[in-house]
């Protein structure tokens, strides 16, 4: 039945696409050669591979085809990821200018607040040749630990409603558990439904003309749905301000606070504070641009124990030589527990973009060292890729 419904929906979307304005893109990334050296796995220390998924630490081949369509009050997107054979899509209806309703799965996300620190820091290069910072590790503090990430990957079948009551103001409400498959125990007891509904996202955006954009977000984590025992977090709160008033640069400042809660053993959890900073100067001098992002997670407890303080920093200068663009992507992350040694990860990731109309060819070098996790050590790889827009 589920397959029949999915096929029916797809036929409707494809039919609509045939009579609408259509655009899309195709991305393909491949690792030519890669290797890794693990301190706790010396038997793999000299392994070198040709092709394949790429070195560990987040390198992997990627291939994605997308089709975006829209005309009048309806729009949507269909995406197929060739490398893991997954398919997703969404449809949006705008009956009036003040109301937007979207349903479906958008793995690229909506309403995200990390204007500099998030996906856009390296953009499409992240799926081709850039280090994939969202695969975990200490780099995550610089990416979006302090910024609201929106409704994206890992949150399927979302009902998202946006209200635009006045110029510059947008109020967004998302229910990521709207589909029966995300109710946990199903559509059974009142408690199960209340817990699922308490994972809502509330996001308020206000655009101050010629100054910047301020955002305030709340993400429910199930605690509001508990009837008696507070054994789940109520949620976390995000606030950020994207400053564009200074000519020639943009600054993003974000903060996150995890509301405190106690588990079934009466151990303290939450209370964590995270801060983030992003800086973008599109033209430092002629042909040279520069991006920087930084973040830190501070304080907080997990099962009664203090969390480590995590700090990370990333840079991305770019020089346009005309026929190609050279990027020098690099970063580091540090974890400082109250007891024990400090851990540090770092990466160096130069890459080149060669544009030719709507086609772009990419080649890069990835070198990473990780001091945490089950596979400590160094990995390197030489990825290539291309993307085309239509």
Residue 314, pLDDT score: 95
* pLDDT of 15: 46
The whole domain housing 331 covers 2-389
The structure tokens 């909506």 sit at 110
| pLDDT (tens digit per residue) in 346-371 | 999 999 999 988 799 999 999 988 77
Domain count of the fold of the chain? 1
CB 332 within 8 A of CB 344: yes
Whether 220 shows a pLDDT value over 80: the answer reads yes
Regarding beta strands 86-96 and 377-389, do their DSSP bridges make them parallel or antiparallel, or are they unpaired? Answer: unpaired
Least confident of 42-56, 162-176, 317-331: 42-56
Can you tell me which residue has the tokens 């503090």? 141
Q: Are strands 21-38 and 62-71 parallel, antiparallel or unpaired?
A: antiparallel
Q: Look at residue 87 and tell me whether its pLDDT is greater than 50.
A: yes
**pTM score, whole prediction:** 0.84
- Ranges 197-211, 297-311, 342-356, 374-388: which has the least confidence: 374-388
Does the structure show a pLDDT above 90 at 40? no
Check if the beta carbon of residue 270 is closer than 8 Å to that of residue 300: yes
Tokens of 192: 């199960």
Helices assigned H by DSSP within 91-154: 140-143
State the sign of the Cα–Cα–Cα–Cα dihedral 207, 208, 210, 213.
Answer: negative
In this structure, what CATH number is given to the domain that contains residue 254? 2.40.160
Integer Cα distance of 265 and 162 in angstroms = 39
Residue-level pLDDT at 3: 45
**Residues 277-287 as b or e (16 or more Cβ within 10 Å = b):** bbbbbeeeeee
Q: How far apart are CA 295 and CA 277, in angstroms?
A: 6
Residue keyed to tokens 């929906």: 9
The two counts, helices (H) then strands (E), for the chain are 3, 24
Farthest CA pair distance, the chain: 65
Mean pLDDT of 321-342: 92
The string of pLDDT tens digits covering residues 240-275 is 999 999 999 999 999 999 999 888 888 999 999 999
């Amino acid at each position: 039945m589920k397959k029949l419904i999915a096929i029916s929906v797809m036929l409707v979307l494809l039919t609509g696409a045939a009579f609408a304005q259509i655009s899309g893109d195709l991305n393909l990334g491949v690792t030519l050669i890669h290797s890794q050296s693990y301190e706790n796995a010396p038997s793999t220390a000299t392994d070198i591979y040709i092709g394949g998924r790429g070195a560990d630490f987040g390198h992997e081949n990627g291939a994605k085809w997308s089709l975006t369509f829209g005309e009048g009050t309806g729009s949507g997107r269909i995406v197929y990821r060739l490398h893991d054979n997954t398919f997703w899509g969404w449809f949006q209806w705008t009956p009036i200018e003040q109301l937007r309703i979207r349903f479906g799965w958008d793995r690229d996300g909506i309403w995200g607040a990390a204007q500099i620190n998030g996906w856009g820091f390296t953009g499409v290069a992240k799926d081709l040749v850039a280090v994939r910072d969202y695969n975990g590790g200490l780099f995550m503090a610089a990416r979006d630990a302090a910024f609201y990430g929106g409704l994206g990957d890992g949150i399927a079948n979302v009902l998202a409603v946006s209200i635009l009551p006045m110029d510059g103001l947008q109020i967004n409400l998302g229910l990521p558990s709207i589909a029966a498959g995300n109710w946990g125990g199903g559509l059974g007891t009142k408690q199960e439904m209340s817990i699922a509904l308490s994972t809502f996202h509330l996001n308020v955006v206000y655009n101050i003309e010629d100054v910047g954009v301020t955002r305030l977000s709340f993400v429910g984590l199930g605690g509001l749905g508990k009837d008696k025992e507070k054994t789940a977090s109520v949620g976390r709160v995000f606030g950020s301000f994207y400053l564009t008033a200074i000519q020639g640069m943009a600054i993003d400042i974000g903060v996150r606070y995890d509301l405190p809660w106690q588990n079934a053993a009466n151990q303290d959890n939450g209370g964590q504070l995270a801060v983030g900073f992003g800086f973008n100067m599109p033209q430092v001098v002629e042909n040279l641009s520069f991006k920087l992002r930084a973040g830190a997670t501070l304080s907080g407890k997990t099962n009664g124990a203090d969390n480590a303080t995590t700090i990370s920093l990333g840079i991305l200068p770019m020089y346009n030589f005309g026929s190609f663009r050279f990027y020098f992507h690099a970063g580091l992350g540090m974890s400082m527990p109250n007891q024990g040694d400090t851990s540090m990860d770092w990466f160096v990731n130069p890459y080149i973009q060669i544009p030719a109309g709507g086609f772009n060819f990419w080649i890069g070098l990835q070198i990473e060292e990780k001091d945490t996790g089950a596979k400590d050590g160094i990995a390197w790889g030489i990825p290539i890729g291309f993307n085309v827009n239509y």
